[in-house]
Structure 1
């Protein structure tokens, strides 16, 4: 039988019962569509991890400096921050000096002690680089932050975290109010708010590094906070210790975010695996529908099969005809299901304001998958039709 005649007969068989064929095709459409939708939506959602990933965590590198033994000099100098800022991918960096002795210090907004009234608060005192607001993604809500001039002159100035200012009752720094840290006065020149990194700074008194060393004994850098560009954290984490303490970089402890590409691939693999199972289940349901309808069609066309056999059609011709019909139904369902799946993925991405991500091989291979499903579903009915003897088929009621 010529292949063109075979497909013409198969198409005629499919169109002879259009409603049944449409309902059978619908099963494949739903199966292939579900497969494309689930994998496409899962891939699209997984690719949003880089954009939706916590940018604060993904761009934070922290270098912890261990205290030196005895009276030895610290491993990291305050000027080392400038070397880190020159690294590619670094937006800002700042050094901090903290200690357990200054973690809970009595701070008062005035030096007058009124009987029966609480005039002070227990706050932390830290020394910091002038670049601290940029490194911790904070904003100076009042006044200004101290600068290099304040550091060089060793000015007795302080910047309060917004929570510390509220606790001390300081809501305006235009008149240069003072705070007394263990009896030592410091002029408040600004308030730092909206701190997203090192959030403990919100309830701290922040001093210039030279002033902190002179007045509070905070002369050694305890950690360095680095704000990086997206995707540069891993590289900066490798280079920052070398820039801060050449030759002693192994003594520093670096905290860096995980590799985003690995996280994305891991989540994408998990979600794809889950949704792939759901898509395959739907596809199997569609295949069962095709097999069932094709078998019913064979039983309804027993007389036609007997006539064809009597006119000289071989078993192979009969089997090929029914296989072609089931394959055509599967192919049509695959084309419609793939188109529906791609459309749904695009609509979902548009509604969620995502960038749709879909593997072209999936969209193009879905119709082929539908044809294969139809082919496999039609194997048993076609073999059953091919095994019919012409005499028995003609005697059977049609």
Structure 2
């Protein structure tokens, strides 16, 4: 038992997590507008970064969905050009020989007609004015090979391929001002009237067809007198054998001049486009990081001002037994809570922006959980860093000086 002259030292009470949150939230509740504006800076940074990640992942999901539908096993074999810059057509046996390659599942070819075979809406347009629409004669099985679908009308069959009928690519139809297929709509193609029997949807893996007018091989011979060989051949191969098929296509299509043949994989171009988009997204992420840094500085500024304004409160708490550690943890918790509120709000805002943009582009909205969780974790870390100095400054105030403050 302690004597009358002994000094009894009381062990400081430890604040529980619940107590810390309750005490730390006092400053936010007492200054709601300032807290909101400070949290807004953090929220904008997190929203920007999450929206960039979400939109990028949504675009990637749309690309994956497109490639799943169209396949990644399409190869394009394009003929080279002569010294005058004119496209040299493949030898007549090129297409049959390609079809005989073991892993090849299907193949179809098109012939690019000479540039002087122009397309006009009607015969009253001056011949010097062209819309830049390319004309191809095509095989009847082309849509099944390239994954083309019809926006209106129909594709060639054994009968229509022999008559003056034309199918327009999506961009070509827009240039000609034709939106629907009607029986009385004709265009001038190579000086002859051709009836429009169909309009294609955009063809992602054969984009050249979008700005083209397509006619049957027999019609090209009978009405335009053009019987040239194929200039482009589209090939579908077994998925696991794409690279092997790619290696032999040039020599198979043109054994005499394989070095003039260009073999490409259209899906690689789509993947490259996505890589370019990701590089642009990295720039946007950098801007989001700057916004987050500015928000963190705003939180630190708010907490420093809060310490100056609440010196009497700090002095009173110290007089009632609060330790330096208690004061430090109070202001550090307040800073973390302030940043966390901004982080949660930023995640919600970023997810909303992602969903709105993805739906407007008909993409599947995708917000990675790691990005949302990481965004909140980053804000908590920023809040903790921003609160270290103000919390330390508050803890250094002595009770007498703090109580004497006006």
When normalised by structure 2's length, the TM-score is 0.62
Give the 5 Å matches for 1:344-363: 344-363=353-372
Separation of aligned partners in 2, 1:198 and 1:224: 15
Q: CA offset at residue 344 of structure 1?
A: 2.4
Pick aligned residue for 1:319 from 328, 342, 363: 328
1:283 is matched with: 292
Q: Choose 274-283 or 136-145, whichever is displaced more.
A: 136-145
Render the CA deviation track for 1:130-172: whole Å, top value 9, x for unaligned: 66866797955995446xxxxxxxxxxx989899974444669
The number of residue pairs the alignment matches comes to 329
- Equivalent residue, structure 1, for 2:76: 61
Alignment TM-score, normalising by the size of structure 1: 0.63
- Asked if 1:253 corresponds to 2:264, the answer is no
1:59-92 C-alpha deviation (Å, 9 max, x unpaired): 561243799xxxxxxx976444234346657553
Partner of 2:383: 374
3-state SS in 1 of match to 2:340: helix
Which residue is equivalent to 1:109? none
Contact kept in structure 1, 2:42 and 2:295, CA below 8 Å? yes
- Do 1:316 and 1:386's aligned partners in 2 also have CA atoms closer than 8 Å? yes
Once the two structures are TM-superposed, the CA of residue 356 in structure 1 deviates from its matched residue by 1.4
1:331 aligns with 2:340: yes
Partner of 1:82 in structure 2?
Answer: 96
- In angstroms, what is the RMSD of aligned CA positions? 4.9
Q: 1:274 to 1:141 in 2, by over 3 A?
A: same
SS at match of 1:279: helix
Structure 1 CA distance, aligned partners of 2:340 and 2:189? 70
The structure that has the greater radius of gyration is 1
Match of 1:31 in 2: 45
Matched, 1:225 2:233: yes
> What does the per-residue CA deviation read over 1:230-260, in whole Å, with 9 as the maximum and x for residues that have no partner?
99996453343365468x7954522314714
Alignment gaps of 5+ in structure 1: 68-74, 106-125, 147-157, 173-190, 209-214
Residues of 2 paired with 1:52 and 1:314: CA distance? 62
Aligned equivalents of 1:363, 1:65: Cα separation in 2: 50
Deviations 1:313-361 (A, max 9, x none): 4333322210111001111221222122212211221232211132221
The verdict on how the C-alpha distance between 1:83 and 1:141 changes in structure 2, with shifts beyond 3 A counting, is closer
Contact 2:98 2:253 in 1 (8 A): yes
Shift, 1:128, TM fit: 8.2
